[in-house]
Amino acid sequence: MTERRFTQDHEWVELSGDTATVGISNFAQDQLGDIVSIEFPEISSKFKQKEAMAIVDSVKASSDIYCPMDGTIIEINKNLQDHPELINKSPYDEGWMLKLKVSNISQFENLMTQQQYEKFVGEEKG
């Protein structure tokens, strides 16, 4: 498993071979508030980087989850369907959302490192 990288839309990615595990950052779950449901894409659907692939709903908001790297959905975290609160409680571990088989590994290099992301979030907070 590689280090964790981040997108500007607050998704995180960990890469193992050509399998990427995706979730949303601690900052993102905090901004969204109590998450009440998640709408997953179908297994084996394909997405390009930055395409909307899932929707996360809190009580008062609905947010797209964007695809961090080109790829095909191979697994979703079914546990979240009954326990969406895991995204709030454990965004980097039990709250992972889905796995992609990525088609362009080099895209990983362009994502932000933990350090870069923290700086990015600091700036966004203003």
Partner 1 sequence: MKLIFEYEQQPTEHVEQIQTQLDLPSELIRDSLPLPNVNEIDIVRHYTNLSKKNFGIDNNLYPLGSCTMKYNPKVSEELARLKGFASIHPRSPVEYSQGSLEVIWELQEALKEITGMDDVSIQPAAGSQCELLGIMIAKRHFENKNEKRTKVIIPDSSHGTNPASVAMCKLETITVCSDSRGNMDFNEVKKKISPDVALVMVTNPNTLGLYEENLLEIKDLAHQNGTLMYCDGANMNALLGISKPKEQGFDMMHLNLHKTFATPHGGGGPGAGALAVRAFLSDYLLVPRITKEDGKFQLDYKKEKSVGKVHSFYGNFGILVRALCYIRIWGNQIRHVSENAVLNANYLFAKIRDSYHVPYDRRCAHEFVVSAKNIPNGGTIDIAKRILDYGFHPPTVYFPLIVEEALMIEPTETESKETLDKYAQVLVNIAKELREKPEIVKDAPHTEPSRLDEVKAARQPNLRWSPQ
Partner 2 sequence: MNYIPHTKEDVTLMLNEIGASSIDELIENFKPCLTSPLKLPEPMNEMQLVSYFSELAGKNKIFKYFVGAGAYDHYSPAVVDHLIKRGEFMTAYTPYQPEASQGMLQAMYEFQSFICLLTGMDVSNASLYDGASALAEAVLLSSSYTKKRHVFVDNGLNPSYYEVLKTYCNGSDLEFTNTIDENTCCVISQNPDFYGNIKDQRPLVEKAHHNKALFITCINEPTSLALLKPPGEYGSDIVVGEGQSFGIPLSFGGPYLGFLAVKNFLLKKIPGRIVGMTEDKNGKKGFVLTLQAREQFIRRERATSNITTNQALLALAATIYLATVGRKGLVDVAKNSYYKAHLLYEKLGKIGFKGLNEKYFYNEFCVKTPKAASKIFSQLLEQKIVGGLVVDDDKIIVCCTEKNSTADINAYLEALK
Residues 44-103 that bind partner 1 (CB under 8 A): 57, 59-60, 84-85
Smallest gap from Cβ 22 to partner 2, in A, equals 20
* Count of residues that interact with partner 2, criterion CB under 8 A: 11
Q: CB under 8 Å to 30, separation ≥6 — which residues?
A: none
Nearest alpha-carbon partner for 68 in 35, 117, 32, 121: 117
Dist CA 93 CA 24 (whole Å) = 10
Options 15-23, 54-62, 86-94, 100-108: segment touching partner 2 (CB under 8 A): 54-62
Q: Which amino acid is at 26?
A: N
- Contact between 120 and 69 under an 8 Å Cβ cutoff? The reply is no
Give the nearer residue to partner 1 in terms of CB position, either 75 or 85. Answer: 85
The residue from 9, 46, 57, 101 that contacts partner 2 (CB under 8 A) is 57
Query: For binding to partner 2 (CB under 8 A), which residues are involved?
Result: 36-37, 39, 55, 57-62, 64
